[in-house]
């Protein structure tokens, strides 16, 4: 059954193979990941975009990105450890999502290692652990079994997430994201949930501008019924950004843009947007259909254009835009980002 998605209640020719030797694919040598050398057109596209536009991928350990991000065929394990530096040399990739944070606290040493691999202008969007973002302790099938007593516990969030992330990433720290997993029965009592969320946000420490001048808090709500004006005002009152999530079982990007407009009315702020999934396709379905994530398997021009519109409005207001894209959106995050960059450049007149 389709859920209620109402928001607010209402190539050139091939060369002669006889005279041109077949290029040899590079292999991983010395455990160093080589970046792909990009053509001048891609560099020119990137140069024409505002410096406060931060495109990033949701993680970076994908061997299928050979020939677009990496110059060589590397293992997932090596890319997970060493691929970030090559990502940071891609002309359009100026951010990355650290998804592993959702599955457990990340040591400060790992955050320091991430920060050391990327340029000064690079930003990270980091997910808070499920220990404070999921209301349920889930079984192997993903279903909530028991209530999570640590749900929205500010002390745990500070100790296991905020302090190590901000200290380790410093100026490269971007949005600190609390992705609230589907709340199941808790979503039926919106007032109680909002009271709990308000107490949690009120207990979060102010972000230190001298340490993390580019950081902000953001919340991603997965229950469409709770995307209400009250929710947006709650976030705004606490200086927390609404994360616009393009994914299944949530309103379309144009409808969520209404929430973004309410959030920014008279006081614009950073855009935090994640393009994750297409409506009607689950995470497991997308993983199976799109692996090894080396091409645009299912282009979604409608969502791409809607995202470009929201991004341009943010940039024209003088605010930064953080746009994190998953392989599961269209099949290949780096190519989705090229498409988004082109659409945005067209709207800004810099193409």
CA distance 219 to 232: 10
Is 254 part of a structural domain of the chain? Answer: yes
Is 222 part of a structural domain of the chain? Answer: yes
- So what's the pLDDT on residue 124? 98
Q: Count the domains in the chain.
A: 1
CB atoms within 10 A of CB 39: 10
Is 11 part of a structural domain of the chain? Answer: no
Is 19 part of a structural domain of the chain? Answer: no
pLDDT above 80: residue 200: yes
- pLDDT-derived band at 185, boundaries 50, 70, 90: confident
Q: Given phi > 0 = left and psi -120 to 50 = alpha, else beta, which region is 286? A: alpha
pLDDT tens for residues 104-160? 999 999 999 999 999 999 999 999 999 999 998 876 766 667 889 999 999 999 999
What is the full DSSP assignment across 261-311? Answer: HHHHTTS---EEEEE---TT--HHHHHHHHTT--S-SS--HHHHHHHHHHH
Give the CA-trace dihedral at 102, 106, 110, 116, to 10 degrees. 60
What the block records as the tokens of 165 is 């992330």
Kindly report which listed range (15-19, 39-43, 308-312) carries the lowest average pLDDT score: 15-19
pLDDT above 50: residue 224: yes
What the block records as the tokens of 4 is 């209620």
Query: Percent of the chain scored above 70 by pLDDT?
Result: 90
- So what's the pLDDT on residue 16? 40
Is 315 part of a structural domain of the chain? Answer: yes
Is 225 part of a structural domain of the chain? Answer: yes
What the block records as the tokens of 237 is 């009152």
What the block records as the tokens of 270 is 């950073």
pLDDT above 60: residue 8: no
Long-range contacts of 284-288, Cβ-Cβ distance < 8 Å, separation of 24 or more: 286/327, 286/328, 287/328
- So what's the pLDDT on residue 7? 62
Most distant CA atoms of the chain, gap in Å:
72
Q: What is the average per-residue pLDDT within 172-190?
A: 93
Range of the domain at 198: 40-348
CATH code of the domain containing 236: 3.20.20.410
pLDDT tens for residues 279-304? 889 899 999 999 999 999 999 999 99
pLDDT tens for residues 20-52? 444 444 544 458 999 999 999 999 999 999 999
- So what's the pLDDT on residue 2? 44
User: Measured on CA atoms in the order 282, 288, 291, 296, is the torsion positive or negative?
Assistant: negative
Is 20 part of a structural domain of the chain? Answer: no
pLDDT above 60: residue 13: no
What the block records as the tokens of 209 is 């501008």
Q: H helices of the chain, where?
A: 40-47, 76-82, 84-87, 108-116, 130-133, 154-157, 163-169, 190-203, 229-237, 253-264, 283-290, 301-316, 327-330, 333-348
Q: What is the average per-residue pLDDT within 195-218?
A: 97
Is 130 part of a structural domain of the chain? Answer: yes
Give the CA-trace dihedral at 135, 140, 143, 144, to 10 degrees. -30
- According to DSSP, the residues that pair with 147 across neighbouring strands are 136
pTM (2 d.p.): 0.90
- So what's the pLDDT on residue 9? 52
pLDDT tens for residues 242-286? 999 999 999 999 999 999 999 999 999 999 999 999 988 989 999
- So what's the pLDDT on residue 144? 64
Kindly report which listed range (3-12, 36-45, 123-132, 166-175) carries the lowest average pLDDT score: 3-12
């Amino acid at each position: 059954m389709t859920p209620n998605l109402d928001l607010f209640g209402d190539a050139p020719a091939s060369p002669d193979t006889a005279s041109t030797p077949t290029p040899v694919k590079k292999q991983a040598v010395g455990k160093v990941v080589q970046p792909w050398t990009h053509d001048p057109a891609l560099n020119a596209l990137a140069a024409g975009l505002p410096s406060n536009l931060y495109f990033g991928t949701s993680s970076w350990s994908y061997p299928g990105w050979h020939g677009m991000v990496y110059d060589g065929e590397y293992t997932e394990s090596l890319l997970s450890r060493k691929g970030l530096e090559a990502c940071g040399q891609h002309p359009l990739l100026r951010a990355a999502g650290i998804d592993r944070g959702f599955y457990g606290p990340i040591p400060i040493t790992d955050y320091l290692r991430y920060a050391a691999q990327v340029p000064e202008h690079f930003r990270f969007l980091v997910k808070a652990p499920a220990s404070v973002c999921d209301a349920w302790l889930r079984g192997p099938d993903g279903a909530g079994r028991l209530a999570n007593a640590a749900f929205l516990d500010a002390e745990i969030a500070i100790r296991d997430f905020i302090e190590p992330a901000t200290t380790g990433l410093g100026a490269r720290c971007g949005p600190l994201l609390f992705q609230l997993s589907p709340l199941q029965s808790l979503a039926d009592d919106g007032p109680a949930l909002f009271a709990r969320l308000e107490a949690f946000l009120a207990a979060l420490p102010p972000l230190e501008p001298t340490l993390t001048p580019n950081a902000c808090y953001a919340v991603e709500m997965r229950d469409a019924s709770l995307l209400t004006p009250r929710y947006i005002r709650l976030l705004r009152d606490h200086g927390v950004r609404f994360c616009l999530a393009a994914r299944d079982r949530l309103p379309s990007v144009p409808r969520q843009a209404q929430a973004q407009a309410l959030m920014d009315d008279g006081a614009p702020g950073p855009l935090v947007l994640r393009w994750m999934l297409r409506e009607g396709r689950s995470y497991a379905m997308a993983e199976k259909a799109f692996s090894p994530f080396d091409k645009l398997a299912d282009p979604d021009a409608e969502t791409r254009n809607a995202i470009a519109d929201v991004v341009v409005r943010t940039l024209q207001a003088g605010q930064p835009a953080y746009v994190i894209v998953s392989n599961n959106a269209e099949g290949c995050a780096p190519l989705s980002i090229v498409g988004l960059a082109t659409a945005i450049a067209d709207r800004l007149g810099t193409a």
